[in-house]
A and B are shown apart, each in its own frame.
Chain A
Amino acid sequence: MGIGEGEMTRSQILQFVISGITQGSIYAMVALGFTIIFRTTRIVNFAQGDFVMFGAMLVATLHNLFHISLLPSILLSILIVAMIGGAMEITMIYPLKGVGIFPLVMITLGASIIFNSSSLLIWGVDPLHLKGFSGDNPIRFYGATLMPQTLWIVGAIVCVAVALFSFFRYTKIGQAMLACSMNDEAAASVGINVRMMVLSSFILSAALGGLGGVLIVPITMVMFDMGVLMTLKGFAAAILGGLGSAPGAVVGGIVLGLAESLSCGIVSSGYRDSITLFVLILVLLVRPSGILGSRFIKR
């Protein structure tokens, strides 16, 4: 063996980190979707993972089955998922305004089940797949390998996070959305169209979910039931980072992804989920509002 034990370990750890960041970015994308809707409505949307599933399913179908070239398929998929998000708000959330947050959260859970089953009916049980945007040849460095798709995912998450952060901080609509979550009556009284803000938050977060799905399908493939796990991991990431904070969602996602892959690689693959949840509990014990928790969490 030409390679020393120490060097071996270093490239292994690098590989764990790459794997963690890739998975973490995916979680972050879902967590960001949670953030948008939560910031506007204070609803935790448990159908968020299904937006990811729809995005992934649609792009794979449009590109592989209908042979539409990649970019139009991607844009079309995101557009359709955004419309699904809008339709969800119009048919399920808006008619029930005024019932309080908790019933609405339950509604989103119901929506998730509906999405899940319709996906089973439309696409069946087999997984779908898509080739990587820039091919499937891994890039090698320092003994570790990196998929080009990872760069797409990480790049997209950085862009989206920056865009969202600026959107909430510097644009009128972003501020208006924020105002709606704090006090919708007060927001309405200063001339904010609360209804439009809620609708746009669903559309925006669905589009984001769709984008996430489009990006991850070359790495993880997609099956009709993928949404449930995505929601779970994304929610954990959002809580970890601080529910309602856009940078928090990104940090939470990456930390969760790293915790998973490092515990799996270094400690034991059998204890991966327990260690990950332990990290989650630990962080919340020390900082109940999450790593970058916003002032919203006051409970």
Chain B
Amino acid sequence: MRPVKILCVGILFLGLMATNSSDAASPAKEQYKIGVCLALTGPLAALGDPELKGAKLAVEVINEKGGVHGRLIELIIEDDAGKPELSVVKGSKLITKDEVLGIFGGTTGDACMAIASIAEKKKIPFISPTGFGGDEIQRGYKYNFLCIPDYDDAVEAIIKYAKAEFKCNRFGLLRLTRFWGVQASRAFHKFKNKYGIEVVREETCADGDKDFTPQLTNIKAAEPCAICIWASAPAAQIAIKNARHLGISVPLLGNVVFASKKTPEIAGEAAEGVIAAATMIWTDPLPRQQEYVERFTRKYGMPPDMWDAMGYDGIMLFTKAIGSLPEAKVNRENIRGALEKIPIYEGASAIFKYSQLRWPIAESWIMISIKEGKFYRIPFKW
């Protein structure tokens, strides 16, 4: 009787083990846990949701090949709704309770800074798809790495392009009142002398605004030869429409928000010919991005954009860092060190040279435009 019982328990135990790690390469090894803290609900879910999709795709790609050091990657997912106060709570939970090796997250600049500060204190590597980039405090952080190239570089790209293509040196600027907009404004002023340009009129707007005609009317009156719209979605798209309806015919310049899949659809004809700095465009990907675009489209049945590409790159960078370490030495501190030594990683979104810079290099920015409702890359030399 007794041996049978033991056998039964044994089989049951084995069965449980098997279900626990049914698709594991080697069931004995524990998984590498990476924390993800993004805005999955709330208004910023429009960015957080694709970021998570990209991260999940990266995990799928890595685990298909058997993971790293024979261990699978597991994501512990938390939702901070884009609110920094929640980011602190969720980030701390990931660090202390889930004991993750690193965190990917921070959908907004504020959320990113909130996590970055605790990551710094708790000494845990943190890769974020956003961030202030140019922020002095963040520049001093040792544990925070960014997936998005510096927006100052984007502004420089825009100015450079406008100067070269239509000899423009009088810019109008419609920007957000919050930090992201301020950053754009500062960048324009920073490059004033270098490129001999001036901002003839600067106007501000807020995230939820629905009408930008007063601001654009004033900008129009100052007679700029190009207008830069630095706003979030759908504000940027409404502003594009407003500008065209006001009869503004000068080129409209923008950032990653213009590159949203929805721009041609919701801004319609008004979106024709807008120019923006982005890192990836699915209708016209760079050779290094082609495979990612195909894979993403196959998995989700929809085309990718730069936000999910950043989610993908974030997890890939962690995996690269872990892979470069001997298995016994995989810990938070060493992963940070390994990230810092990555010489070059040509990702789905950008080109990373973390050994030189904690965010992707300026050359990651590409210039895009819309023709007949379709995005395409426009030739641009740095």
Q: Say yes or no for A131: interface residue by CB 8 A criterion.
A: yes
Given contacts A15-B214, A221-B266, A225-B43, contact A273 B234 (CB under 8 A): no
A15 contacts B262, C-beta separation under 8 Å: no
B45 contacts A269, C-beta separation under 8 Å: no
Residues of A within 8 A of B45 (CB): 120, 125
B266 contacts A22, C-beta separation under 8 Å: no
Of all chain B residues, the one with the shortest Cβ separation from A3 is B221
Q: Say yes or no for A155: interface residue by CB 8 A criterion.
A: no
Given contacts A145-B246, A229-B208, contact A223 B234 (CB under 8 A): yes
| Min C-beta distance of B329 to chain A, whole Å | 41
A221 contacts B215, C-beta separation under 8 Å: no
Number of B residues whose C-beta is below 8 Å from A? Answer: 34
A270 contacts B204, C-beta separation under 8 Å: yes
Residues of A within 8 A of B217 (CB): 12, 15-16, 19, 265
Q: Say yes or no for B153: interface residue by CB 8 A criterion.
A: no
Of all chain A residues, the one with the shortest Cβ separation from B244 is A138
Residues of B within 8 A of A26 (CB): 210
CA distance A117 to B203 in the complex (A): 33
B233 contacts A261, C-beta separation under 8 Å: no
Residues of B within 8 A of A18 (CB): 213
A270 contacts B177, C-beta separation under 8 Å: yes
CA distance A269 to B204 in the complex (A): 5
Given contacts A127-B237, A221-B266, contact A15 B246 (CB under 8 A): yes
Residues of B within 8 A of A8 (CB): 221
| Min C-beta distance of A7 to chain B, whole Å | 11
A127 contacts B204, C-beta separation under 8 Å: no
CA distance A128 to B262 in the complex (A): 9
B213 contacts A19, C-beta separation under 8 Å: yes
Q: Say yes or no for B247: interface residue by CB 8 A criterion.
A: yes
B218 contacts A265, C-beta separation under 8 Å: yes
Given contacts A221-B237, A223-B234, contact A138 B245 (CB under 8 A): yes
Chain B residues numbered 242-272 whose CB sits less than 8 Å from any CB in chain A: 245-247, 261-262, 265-266, 268-269
Q: Say yes or no for A136: interface residue by CB 8 A criterion.
A: yes
CA distance A147 to B233 in the complex (A): 22
| Contact bitstring A223-251, B, C-beta under 8 A = 1, else 0 | 10100010000000000000000000000
| Min C-beta distance of A145 to chain B, whole Å | 6
A220 contacts B210, C-beta separation under 8 Å: yes
CA distance A117 to B210 in the complex (A): 21
Contact residue among A117, A120, A127, A136 (Cβ-Cβ distance under 8 Å from B262): A127
Q: Say yes or no for B211: interface residue by CB 8 A criterion.
A: yes
A-B contact count (CB 8 A): 86
CA distance A278 to B72 in the complex (A): 58
CA distance A12 to B221 in the complex (A): 8
Q: Say yes or no for B205: interface residue by CB 8 A criterion.
A: yes
A136 contacts B269, C-beta separation under 8 Å: yes
B246 contacts A220, C-beta separation under 8 Å: no
B265 contacts A129, C-beta separation under 8 Å: yes
CA distance A261 to B242 in the complex (A): 14
B262 contacts A126, C-beta separation under 8 Å: yes
CA distance A270 to B217 in the complex (A): 15
| Contact bitstring A245-287, B, C-beta under 8 A = 1, else 0 | 0000000000000000110110011100100000000000000
B46 contacts A221, C-beta separation under 8 Å: no
Q: Say yes or no for A295: interface residue by CB 8 A criterion.
A: no
A264 contacts B215, C-beta separation under 8 Å: yes
Most chain B beta carbons < 10 A, residue from A15, A23, A129, A269 = A269
Most chain A beta carbons < 10 A, residue from B210, B238, B266 = B210
B205 contacts A127, C-beta separation under 8 Å: no
List 23 interface pairs A-B (beta carbons < 8 Å), by A numbering: A12-B218, A12-B221, A19-B211, A23-B210, A23-B211, A125-B49, A127-B234, A127-B237, A127-B262, A131-B268, A136-B268, A145-B247, A219-B211, A220-B211, A223-B43, A223-B234, A225-B42, A261-B211, A261-B213, A261-B214, A265-B215, A269-B204, A270-B204
In the complex, besides A126-B261, A223-B43, 6 extra interface pairs with C-beta distance below 8 angstroms are A127-B262, A131-B268, A136-B268, A145-B245, A147-B245, A262-B214
Residues of B within 8 A of A (CB): 41-43, 45-46, 49, 177, 203-206, 208, 210-211, 213-215, 217-218, 221, 233-234, 237-238, 241, 245-247, 261-262, 265-266, 268-269
